[in-house]
Amino acid sequence: MEFLYEYGLFLAKAVTLVVAIVVVLIAIVASASRQKPGKGHLEIVSLTEQLNDIKHYARSVLLDKAAMKKLAKEQKKEGKKAKSDKDKKEDEEASRLFVIDFTGSMDAHEVERLREEVTAVLCVAQKQDEVLVRLESGGGVVHGYGLAASQLQRIKEKGIKLTVAVDKVAASGGYMMACVADTLLSARFAYIGSIGVLAQIPNVNKLLKKHDIEFEQHTAGDYKRTLTVFGENTEEGREKFRKDLENIHVQFKDWVKSQRETLDIEKVATGEVWLGSEAKEIGLVDDIMTSDDYILSHHPAREIFAVKYATKKSMAEKLGISVSAAAESTVMRLLSKSRHWF
């Protein structure tokens, strides 16, 4: 009996503890769902210092004491010479390389960070400076990537050299951005191109009719809605939809041609993609090089800075409870509003 009593007491305590934990978790989740995302902030990190630290660590591991001592003397001598040269050129501002990363999704929401990063760079950059954008995107909505390309155009309009490096993919809307560059670099096996326009929309009208479900849609204006998900599509609506696609494709080709004048636009504007080495042969990119090699080629001659606009995650995002809601929202926006995308 005493054993059963103690066991029952232990079980009651365990249940109480579990209930208390569940209540606390529910309170945290409820609070997280009401919390608004924090305001973003700018982060500027010296890549020059990071590269110097890597070099110093590698040498400390690989070199013996005698070699390290000899290297220290050489570095001290070089440091004095560098300081002397700096004093002679104190009236001249050193050239800097600003690095911005852009990894784009279908809805191109990353453009909000890009515009902040570009604005920050333009506030401090001088004519002798350069901006390197490490770009990765397979494309997405027309209006989103159009704005993203315009953000890069702002750099060129200020007379600052713009270099874009593609390590993996710059296709469709991604290439719309990349082609703005004064110099466009690509890794050998990166995907480049896809100068075309895509639109697709499901239609469940036959399914609704099969189950005797009526759907009504009223518009003011002949082409307010050309194709519909639930209603019955007409040949006239399909034709207008195709014309809209062709018009966007023409605008896309004109944009690429204005940025890369020597390009045979009719040859490349077929929606195809090419590997970096092939893209160089037909003029889609200027050189085969990774972003890492490009940055190293400017070290230590230039000061190199990474510029990033970071937003503080809400508690809901940290807990991961808003992922499905965000995904659902994105899909619905694509279906209901953004009929065309690159």
Are 140 and 342 in contact by the 8 Å Cβ rule? The answer is yes
Given the residues 172, 291, 322, 338, select the one marked as catalytic. 172
Distance between CA atoms of 284 and 275, rounded to whole angstroms?
A: 10
Beta-carbon count within 10 A of 304 CB: 23
Given the residues 36, 39, 224, 324, select the one marked as catalytic. 224
172 part of the active site: yes
Token pair of 128, please? 């002798």
224 part of the active site: yes
**Burial (0-12, 13-18, 19+ Cβ within 10 Å), 59:** middle
What amino acid is encoded at 209 in this protein? Answer: K
Secondary structure class of 55 (helix, strand, coil): helix
Q: Measure Cα distances from 93 to 115, 149, 277, 284 in Å.
A: 26, 29, 37, 34
Q: Measure Cα distances from 254 to 68, 126, 163, 195, 248 in Å.
A: 57, 30, 21, 11, 10
DSSP character at residue 114: H
Residue ranges in 107-234 assigned as alpha helix (H):
111-124, 142-157, 173-178, 205-210
Secondary structure class of 61 (helix, strand, coil): helix
**What are the residue numbers of the active site?**
172, 224
